[in-house]
Structure 1
Amino acid sequence: MESVFRTWKTSRELYLDYFNNYTLEQLNKIPNGFSNNLIWNIGHIIVAQQALIYKDSDLEGYIPNELFELYKPGTKPTGKTSQNEVTELKELLLSLIKKTETDFYDGKFVNYNERMTGTGFYLTSLKDAFEFNNYHEGLHLGFMVNIKKFI
């Protein structure tokens, strides 16, 4: 699991660069031909991780339900994300790694509900979920690389 956590941390550091290098206007811009923006992708990977790891383990996560509803799979941006929400997402981006890692090593995860992801991956264990999460975050990072070309 050490390499899974190391990969996840590296991925999240790459996402952090978007907060540090793009304005609120740029984070919110949906370029022509795209259905979402930079900030939606960041919110989505945060929400997806909480669902994959916590909800599928029958545990409460660390994000408010309102945030989950805005960024869960199948959603799209519904308006401009405020600076307050951007600040909240920025804080969650890295803080959730430490919380999840602590919960993992403290043995908080006991059960995992097997399931098929929307992209056709069958997850049978918590380890599968962590590995899929890293894959999922890589996909969205690729989407963001494309979006930033047009903002």
Structure 2
Amino acid sequence: MNSLLLHHLETVRSITLNVLSSVTEEESLLTPNGFSNNIVWNLGHIAYIQEKLVFELAGQKNQLPPSYEQLFAAGTNPSQWEEEPPTLTQLQEELTAQTERIKEFIPAHFDMKLAKPFTNKAGISFDYVGSTFLFSFYHEGMHVETIKQIKKAVQTQKS
């Protein structure tokens, strides 16, 4: 397993956490006009989908709180929430802990064939843990960009 991939994981996640550090709790819960989700949803979605792509598809147990599926799975949004979402601090802790778990798990499982191929919403199929792991970088980057756009829209609407 190439340490460059683990370094890239750390780089991507540090970018995410850095963006998180510039957001207030108030901003994180606002859904500006033109968006269907808020910053908390996007951060939770990153964690939830990463867990699915790396661990669940490999037959491992999801180690995130059970509420994350109802709060952050694809197709959910804050207007449907019936419980309090995690705080930014809680999300930061989950994302940090998840990074460490992935760093321990992925080297021994990168080349593992999935029991059943996974096809995402775009119709792209994956057969190996490494493939879903690499795709997760793209997924996280898309949501980090969305977080930046939401933050900008929230600040524009406040002024």
Deviation at 1:81, TM superposition (A): 8.3
Is 1:24–1:83's contact at 8 Å kept on the other side of the alignment? Answer: no
TM-score, L = length of structure 2: 0.83
* Secondary structure of 2:55's aligned partner: helix
* Secondary structure of 1:143's aligned partner: helix
Is 1:8–1:134's contact at 8 Å kept on the other side of the alignment? Answer: yes
Q: How does 1:1-150 map onto structure 2 within 5 Å? A: 1-77=2-78, 78-79=80-81, 85-105=87-107, 112=114, 113-150=116-153
Deviation at 1:3, TM superposition (A): 2.7
Deviation at 1:28, TM superposition (A): 0.7
Structure 1 stretch 1-10 or stretch 39-48: which is displaced more?
Answer: 1-10
Is 1:41–1:140's contact at 8 Å kept on the other side of the alignment? Answer: yes
- The number of equivalent residue pairs is 151
Deviation at 1:82, TM superposition (A): 5.4
Q: CA RMSD in A?
A: 2.3
TM-score, L = length of structure 1: 0.87
Structure number having the greater strand percentage: 2
| Runs of 5+ consecutive residues of structure 1 not aligned to the other structure | none
* Secondary structure of 1:74's aligned partner: coil
2: CA distance, partners of 1:83 / 1:126: 29
Indicate the structure (1 or 2) with the bigger Cα radius of gyration. Answer: 2
* Secondary structure of 1:149's aligned partner: helix
| Runs of 5+ consecutive residues of structure 2 not aligned to the other structure | 155-159
2: CA distance, partners of 1:5 / 1:19: 21
